[in-house]
Every structure is written in C-alpha cells, then in structure tokens.
Chain A
Amino acid sequence: MSLAAGIARRAGRRALSSVPALFGVIVFTFLLMRVLPGDPAVFFASGPNAGQAEIQMIREQMGLDKPIPQQLLLYLKDIATGNLGRSMNTGQPVVTDLINRLPASLELTFTALLFALSLALPLGILAALKPNSLIDHGVRFLCSLGVCVPTFVSGLLLIYAFYYILGIAPDPTGRLDVFAAQPPVVTGFMLIDAAIAGEWESWRAAASQLVLPAATMALFVLAPLARMTRAAMLAVMTSDFVRTGEALGLSRRRVVLVYALRNALLPVITIMGIVFSTMLGANVLVEKVFSWPGVASYALDALLTSDYAPVQGFVLLMAFIFVLVNLTIDVLYGLADPRVSIE
C-alpha cells in the first residue's frame, strides 16, 4: 500500500511540475516558428496568378496579419479550448491530423521497442556473462552496425531484399495493403482494431506491414539498450549479493535472472524512456521510406513549408508525451527498486 501511495505521490508532483515546462515549450515554439525565415503565405500562394492580393488572403486565413503578441494570445486561447489550428498542407484541423496519425507512430514505435528489447536484453545479458568472449564481440559488432547504418539506408536495404528481390514482404506503403479491408477505427491502432473486429485477415496484413519498418527502427536503437544492459549487468554481477547468492548455492539461473537482472534494470529503464521518446520524434526517415502516415513525417512536411500550426501542435504533443513517458518511468522505477520511493 505504501509503495503505491509513494508512487502516486511522486507521479502527482511530477505532473504538476511539468506544467510550466509545457507552457514554456508552447511559447518557445511559437516564437521560434515566427523567427524562422520564410513566409508560409507566400509559399502557399500557389495559384497561377499569385499576386499580393492572394498572399494577403492566405495571411489572413492563417491569422498572420495580426501583431505577434496578439497572435500568441489568440493561440493560447485556442489551445485552452483544444484547438491547435489548421494545417495548410493537409487542409485539416491539426488536432484531427494528430489524432489520426499518432496511433500510427505509436504502434510502430511500440512494436519496434518490443523488437529491440526482446533482442537487446538477452544479448546484453549474454555479453555481460561472458565478457570479451566471441559472443560479446558479436554483440558489439551488431550494435555498432545498427548505429552506423542510417535508418533510411537499412530501411531501403530491407525493402530491396525482402520486397523487391525475395518478394516475401508486402509492398512498403503504409499501415495496410491498399486493397485490404480497413477495420473500423476504434483505437486507431490497426492491430487492436482488427482484433476487436475479429478481422484476422486484416490483422495479418497490418502485422506484415509493420515488420520491416519496426525492424529498421529496432536495429537503430539496439545499441543503447544492449550496451546499457551489458554495462549494468557487469557491475551487478561483481557485487556482494550476487557472490553471496552464488555462495549459498542458488542456481545460476535464479541468481542471474532474478537477483542480478532486477537490480541492473534501473539504468535500462531510464534509457528505454529516452529511446522511446527519441524514436517517436526521430523516426521521420523510417516513416518517409515506408510511407508510414505518422506524426514525424507530418511535422517535417509542415516544417519545410513553414506551416506553423502543425509544427507547434507536434512539438506540444511531443512535450506532452515526454512528460507522460517520464511519469511512467518513475512508476516503473518504484516497481523495479522500492528504495527509490524513499526520498
């Protein structure tokens, strides 16, 4: 009981202390976008006879004809009412776009993280148990490779091998084969929606679309996770309680997986949080290569055309997710090591 209460107290305090940070992010992004060179109204004035009149029309449509302080106040008021503005690139309200696209990014990121963890943890543990062995070097090689090869290269390579040459993978175009039936949207997560609707055909199609992009991303974040696991395990394996456990004749399996791993997990969880947030924002190249309709490629397109509203909306969303992830990590800390809650 006291454990849960401690976690809740800490989570509450964290949530509260993140409010000023979020506000700062809003104001900062708002100003940054306006400081950037490039006038979106000029760019979007794309009619065959675009003159000053049309530019002025778009400027008014985007609310850019007012002085900046007034724009900021209007923007803050809009945010308070849940309105993040309208994207010029897609012609839709930013909130709608983000709601449609966030699940795509999350689904991809979660899957990739799952792939990465299921590979990184065993590899890290193995490398730590036999330092400087062939396995250790092998893991180091794999990690270096994953970090060195940019995601768009590994992505294109995977597409080339599995789609173009071997023909095993489906065409790398988004979340679902264009000819497959779309399951009714409930959560926005294709796998969950298809499962709810019981459309296993669609579920298989969605899952097979997910494999290549998730593998590409997993390869990229394998290194920090595996290396961190190895380092933490190495430190823990030489500590007193492990030696005691071994001296008391506990099985090797129990010592490693129960006593050592649980104590080594703290830094891994920290890294996991960081990796997750980075992946969500930085997977833009993977999204581009696999035509994945996620939030990162959405934000990049908006940034290139100085489409203010979507970029601001995206940054705000990312800040919000970062806060959430940190909260979750805090909760996980408490579970992995009860001492953390005693401050």
Chain B
Amino acid sequence: MKLNRRHLLAGTAAVATAPYLGGSAAAQTRAETLRYVTGATVNTLDPTMPGSTREAFGVSVNVYDRLVSFGRKQRDGNWVFDIDNIRGEIAEKVDISPDGMTFTFHIRKNAKFHDGTPVTAADVKWSYDRAVSARSLAAAQIGTGSWTKPEQFTIVDTHTVVGKIDKPDRLALPNLCTLYAIVFNSTLVKKHVTPQDPWGQAWTKDNTAGSGAYTVESFRPGEQVILRRNDAWTGGVDGKPAPFRRIICQTIPEAATRASLIEKGDADLSIDLQPSDIDTLVQRGRVKAISTPQFNAFSMIAFNTKMPPFDNKKVRQAIAAALPYDSLFKAGLFERGAKLYGGTWSGTPTDASFPQPMPYKQDVAKAKALLTEAGFPNGFDTFFAFNLGSAAFAEPIAALVKEALAAINIRVEIQKLPDAQISTMVTERKLPFFIETSIAWLPSTDYFFRTFLYGPQRWNYSGWNDQRIADIAEKARFETDKAKYDAACKEMIAIMAEETPIVMLWQPNQDAVMPKNIDGYTYGYHRQVDFRDVKRT
C-alpha cells in the first residue's frame, strides 16, 4: 500500500477519536471486573512465606498454578472442592504406578509462564526442591504427604517429571494440589537469588513468577491487590482463560461497610460478613448468599489435658454433658452451620468420616454425677478464654458456658485475649479451656487426627497425646485397603469420644454474599475465593 495524505489524515482522525471511546470501554471494564471485599489483608505474594495470611493464600491460588489441582463437586446444591477428584493443571496427565509410590507427571506442551517462556520439567523440579528445602511453610505441609527431600523428584525429559515416595501415602497427590506446591518460573526467580537467600524468597514476597490464570497488576500490602487476566492461561478445566478480566481484591475492615457495598452493587463478593447480617441482607432481596458448611473446619471447646483438673477425663466428660449445645449454636452462630454434636451413635461410630456429629448432649444430672466421681462434688474455680478477634460469636457462647457450668458448681471467669496473647497461651498450655475454630486443608480422617489430636504442633489445642491414636493414625496414613482404613478411623473417633480432649461444636457456614448475577462460586479447601470459577451471568 502506498502511503498518501488521505490515509495519513484518516489515521490521525482515528487516533484522535480513540480517547473519546474510553467511556464505553470503562463501562465494559466494570462488568468484566470482580470487586471482592474482605476484612483481612494480603501481606505477601509468596504463600509459602512464614506469617502469610489466608488472603495471601487466596491471591496465590489465582496467580500460580500447580501440577495438579482439586476438582469440584455438588454438595447440598453448592459447589465445593473435591479431594477425591484430582485434575491436571500444569500437568495434562498423571500416571500412578500400581503400587501407588511413583507418580509420573506429563507437563502440558502449551503451558507458559506469565513472561511467555514455556513451563519445563526443570521449573517443576526447582519449585519442588524449594518447597521441601527452603525455610518456609511448604515443607511442613507437603511433608504430611511423604514429600521430604529433593531426591524424590527427578527430571525425565523437558516435559516429564517423576515423583517417588517410600510408602503408598493417601495424601501424597492431594498435597501437591495445595497452594504450597506451586510452580515457579525458576529462570526468573534465579535472577534474584543471593548467597543468603538461595531460593529468592525475598524477591517472591513482592513479585510473582507464575503461570496462573491471573497476573498481579498492582499490590499494595494491607490495602488492595489488583489482578489482571492471563489470556494465555491453559490450566483451566476447559483450557479457556478465566471469566473475569480484572479482579480487585480490596481490604475493607468494617463488616457493615462491606455489607452495604455488596447490597448497593458496588462490590461483587464477600465471604466474611457478620453471620447475624446475612439473613436480613438476603431478605431484602438484592443479593444472594451461598452458605456452605465448612466441612473441613470445626469449632470446638478445647480442654487443656495437661492442666489439672482438666487432665481428669471425668471432668472433661462432665463439662461435655453440661453444655447447652442448642443454645450455643443459636446464640453464637444463629444456627448458620452444621452441628457436630447430638450424634446418635454410642461406642463406635457408624461412619468413618471426620469431623462428624459426636454423641454429646446436655444432661445436667449425668454431669453432676461425673463431677462427683472425678472428686469435685463442690466444683472448682477456673477461667474460660476466647480470642478478642472473634468476640462477635465467642462472647455470647462464653456467657452461656459460664451459666451452664454454674449449674454444676464450676465457677467460671471469662477472659478475652488479643490474638498474639491467646496463641502464646495456647501453645504454652496455660489456658484451662477455650473456644477455637480450626481447619484442615485435606479433610481425611487420619490427617485430622494427626494435625489436631496428636503431636507437639500448635494445632493440637488440647495437648492430648494418646499413644493409641499415634499408632493407629500413623498406620492408617499408609493403609491402602479402604475397609481397614475405615475401621482404623472409627476406632480413633471412638477413643476420642470417650476421652473428650475437645468438645466438637459445629462447622460454621461460609457465607459468600454476592449480587444475583454472580455465579459459579466454589468453596475451596483454603476457604478463600478461587476467582477462576466465578463469572457474571
């Protein structure tokens, strides 16, 4: 084509008018943008950094890919993650050897990092070596799936990696689905390593080197993160880019403000509104709530089994029999959740899943009798603690506990403690009994017991160390026969019901509130929003 004056003029005119078309483009952007509001903050872009927040986990899920990922299933009409349905993300196929100890991952040929370079076996190997060797949160987590040293991962060719474990571990593959097993662009990260920091952890805190569905457009720690869609992403179920072009993930500390924003349609999604507000919001008809019981979490009253008089099983059983479960459920949670009390079985459970409703119910006469048997006919003095941050639901519960225990002559003083203080006192085993909510990423019964009911880690709230549990759980972990595994799980649940180191209360709902045209929300193991599932209809 010959360039003449006419063409030049037409071109100039087109360029000149372009800015004025911005208005309609902006409107379109709003429809293609998801504004997610939360009370929590993102403090790092590297989820394996010690001290990273849950919101940071949520962002990383969308920015980084793993080799494999959990699928999803319907549960009571809502989408939830499915630990038994594992799909490829960077890997297009996983071959598992018949003995269950060798995993061969075939990397997608079209998988690319955000900078356009292809994802190779070397990147995967480097990322996994980092996960098991660097001083980060990753090692402890994926260690629960028998991944402990770099020698377990070998490169076969540019697109094939093999992982080997010593014993068939039922959590080996699920652990590689978690957000600690992310794949970094090793060439990019290696440019920023120093002798003191061989894994580039200082750099990945504020920068990303992933291949995920979104890239980070701006990151203001403690305020907001803006994500932009990676149009070249192929890790989805259908291989297509994510539905939303842009995600604004904004910190709004005040729950009431978040609620108004959603209701006015200025924000599109929130998962941490006050449980007491949800019903009213839904009744006013402008928004919908997707309420999913957090089936991998549980609220409990934990007894310090290392501290008298709670080292006495009868005292723990007495309190378990004295608690007014239904009132607690109403006052604390407005019944927004699934009960973990009032189970109808006794002795051995009929179901091997956990958490499940435990056979606890209020029986004051029995509680009094147990307390007398324990040697406290006149009761005793103690205190009940809860976290200041969860006062909204814990405060009414504490008052009810105090009142209920007064009926069996246990005099309770209530203590509200700030976050850091209560964590310290729990770890140092200085609290007699307290209320807590906790979560396991991988909801398998032996994993729950290993995490919460045995061992020295912070999450063993009751400090309970029963050798029987240790033996059964360690064996169950490597058990491949489902019938034997289920029998082992039932045995552990029965022991726990009898010993009562903690009283299970309920699984609180996760109430995701959004305008009616937002669809596809899926409850994830990390309890954050996977933006890749959400779309506007």
Contacts and interface: CB of A to CB of B under 8 A. Distances in A.
A304 B223 contact: no
A43 B50 contact: no
Interface string A90-111: 1110000100100000000000
Interface string B389-406: 100000000000000000
A293 B388 CA distance: 22
Contact of B50 (A39, A61, A179, A306): A61
B51 interface: yes
A188 to B, nearest CB: 13
Given A44-B51, A45-B50, A58-B50, A89 B222 contact: yes
B222 A97 contact: yes
A172 B257 contact: yes
Given A91-B49, A304-B419, A291 B251 contact: yes
Contacts of A88: 43, 51
A245 B224 CA distance: 60
Nearest to A39: B424
Most buried by A among B420, B441, B456: B420
Contact of A291 (B257, B263, B422): B257
Contacts of B307: none
Interface string A29-69: 00000001111101111111111111101100100000000
Contacts of A305: 418-420
Interface stretch (A121-129, A135-143, A156-164, A318-326): A156-164
A55 B50 CA distance: 9
A163 B205 CA distance: 37
Interface in B80-98: none
Contacts of A45: 50-51, 458
Contacts of B422: 38
Contact of A173 (B144, B206, B252, B459): B252
Nearest to A293: B223
Interface string B410-445: 000000001111111101000000000000110000
A90 B221 contact: yes
Given A42-B424, A89-B222, A164-B260, A48 B451 contact: yes
Nearest to B46: A91
A333 interface: no
A146 interface: no
B250 A44 contact: no
Contacts of A50: 140, 457-459
A38 B421 contact: yes
Contact of B141 (A49, A172, A290, A303): A49
Given A54-B50, A164-B264, A173-B257, A47 B424 contact: no
B456 A52 contact: yes
B52 interface: yes
A310 B103 CA distance: 46
Contacts of A167: 264
A236 to B, nearest CB: 44
A212 to B, nearest CB: 11
Interface string B249-264: 0111110110011011
B288 interface: no
Contacts of B441: 48
A91 B266 contact: no
Contacts of A52: 456
B164 interface: no
B29 to A, nearest CB: 8
B44 interface: yes
A178 B26 CA distance: 13
Nearest to B221: A90
Given A50-B140, A171-B264, A44 B389 contact: no
Contact of B420 (A42, A156, A174, A298): A42
Contacts of A90: 41, 43, 221-222
A251 to B, nearest CB: 51
A46 B51 contact: yes
Interface in A283-304: 288-291, 293, 297-298, 301, 303-304
Nearest to B267: A171
A49 B251 CA distance: 27
Contacts of A178: 35, 224, 248, 250
B451 A291 contact: no
Given A91-B205, A289-B257, A57 B424 contact: no
B379 interface: no
B50 A47 contact: yes
A46 B224 CA distance: 21
Most buried by A among B224, B252, B441: B252
B149 interface: no
B228 interface: no
B137 interface: yes
A171 B261 contact: yes
Contacts of B459: 48-50
Nearest to A104: B223
B130 to A, nearest CB: 15
A53 B256 contact: no
A59 B30 CA distance: 44
A62 to B, nearest CB: 9
A47 B140 contact: yes
8 smallest beta-carbon distances between A and B, as pairs: A38-B420, A38-B421, A306-B420, A47-B137, A49-B140, A44-B51, A90-B221, A43-B420
29 contacts: A38-B421, A38-B423, A39-B423, A42-B423, A44-B51, A46-B52, A47-B50, A47-B141, A48-B140, A49-B140, A49-B451, A49-B457, A54-B140, A57-B50, A61-B50, A171-B260, A173-B261, A174-B224, A178-B250, A288-B253, A288-B254, A291-B252, A291-B254, A297-B253, A301-B41, A303-B418, A305-B419, A306-B419, A306-B421
Interface of B: 26, 29-30, 33, 35, 37, 41, 43-44, 49-53, 135, 137, 140-141, 143-144, 205-206, 220-224, 248, 250-254, 256-257, 260-261, 263-264, 266-267, 388-389, 418-425, 427, 440-441, 451, 455-459
